[in-house]
Amino acid sequence: MCAGKNLRTDEKKLRMKAVLGGIGIGLVFLLGWLILLSTHDERASVAIEPAAAHAAAVDTLTYALPQRVHPMDLHGPFSFAGQPLPLENFDVRERLDLELMRNAYFHRNTLLLLKRRRRVFPTIERILQAEGLPDDLKFLAAAESGLDNVRSPAGARGVWQFMAPTARAFGLEVTDEVDERLDLEKSTRAAAAYLHDYYRQFGDWHKVAAAYNMGGPNLKRWLEKQRAEELVDLDINGETMQYLFRIVALKTILQHPEKFGYYLESQDEYPALDRYRTVTITNSVSNLGDLARAEGTTYRMLKLYNPWLVSGSLTVRPGKRYEVRIPLP
C-alpha cells in the first residue's frame, strides 16, 4: 500500500513539472512575440509619421472655413435715389457699417435676394421708369420683403408689403379670393403712386423711405417734435432709424456681390416667369383645378403664375373680368 502511494505521488510530481515546464516555454514565446511586435510598431510609426503629418496638413487646408472676414469698406460714395449719405457724420458711418455687416453675412437671405433679382427687378424697373421714379426704389422693395410675396406679422403682404387698407386706397383688390398685393405688376404700380404721393409731401427721398416704413403722419410728427431737418438726425425707433441704411446696404451688395464674396452664374438665378399666354375670365370658376386642367396646366403652375389667386375658386361679379396667366409648355 505504501509503495503504491509513493508511486502515485511521484507521478503527480512529474505531471506538475511538465505543466510548469510548458507554461514557462509559453511565457518565453509570449515575451519574445511582444518584444518583436513593439519593435515593429516603432518602425511603422517612424515610417508613417511624415505621411500622417502631411495628410493632417492637407485636411486642415481642405476643411478650413472658406472665408476671410474683413471690415466693411466705407469709402463710398453711398447714396439712395441720387441723394448721398453724409459719411462725414460718424453716426451715419457706423449705422451704415452695421447694415452692411448684417446683410453681407446674412448669407441665406442675401443669396436668395441675388437669385430673385432676375425674376422681380425687370418688372419693377420698367414701371419705375414709366412713372418717372428713381430706379433705386427697387431696393426699397428688397428691404421690405426680400423680393418675395411674404406676409408680415402685422398683416402686410406682397413684395411691397402693403397693408390691406392702404392697398385698397391705391386701387388694389383685396378679398378672400383675390389679393392684388401679390400681383407684382399691379402692386408695383400702386407702390409707384404711393411713393409719388410721399415725395410731393416731403421732397426728399430719404424721408420718403422712412415714411414708407413708419407712415407719413408719424414721420412728420417726429420731425417736428425733435426739430430735425434731416432724416439721419432723428432719434426714433430702431427699425426706422436703420431702414434707409438697410436699403443702401442692400443696394451696394446687390450691385457688387463679388466684393462681398457672392459669386453667381446666370443659371443660378431664378428664371423670370415671362413665358405665358393670357386668358380672360368673365364667369365664376368654382374650382381652379378644373380651369388649370382645361387650359393644359396644373393647379400648382396656375398659382405660381397668378399668386393673387388666393383661394381655390374665383367669383366674377357682373361686369368684372380677370386676366389669368397660363404658362407655356
pLDDT value of residue 25: 57
The pLDDT assigned to 20 comes to 52
What global pTM score does this model have? 0.78
CATH architecture for the domain at 79-268: Orthogonal Bundle (1.10)
Long-range Cβ contacts of 116-119 (<8 Å, 24+ apart): 116/146, 116/147, 116/148, 116/269, 116/270, 117/147, 117/254, 117/269, 118/266, 118/269, 118/270, 118/271, 118/272, 119/147, 119/269, 119/270, 119/271, 119/272, 119/273
Reading the block at residue 119, the C-alpha cell is 425674376
Distance CA 27, CA 264 (A): 70
**Whole-number pLDDT of residue 27:** 58
pLDDT value, residue 137: 98
Q: Note the pLDDT of residue 90.
A: 96
Residue spans per domain, the chain? 79-268, 276-327
Report the pLDDT value the prediction gives residue 44, as an integer from 0 to 100. 44
Q: Could you list the pLDDT tens digit for every one of the 329 residues in the chain?
A: 444 444 455 555 556 555 455 555 555 555 555 555 555 544 444 444 554 544 555 455 555 666 678 899 998 899 999 999 999 999 999 999 999 999 999 999 999 999 999 999 999 999 999 999 999 999 999 999 999 999 999 999 999 999 999 999 999 999 999 999 999 999 999 999 999 999 999 999 999 999 999 999 999 999 999 999 999 999 999 999 999 999 999 999 999 999 999 999 999 999 999 999 999 999 999 999 999 999 999 999 999 999 999 999 999 999 999 999 999 99
Do the beta carbons of residue 249 and residue 99 sit within 8 Å?
yes
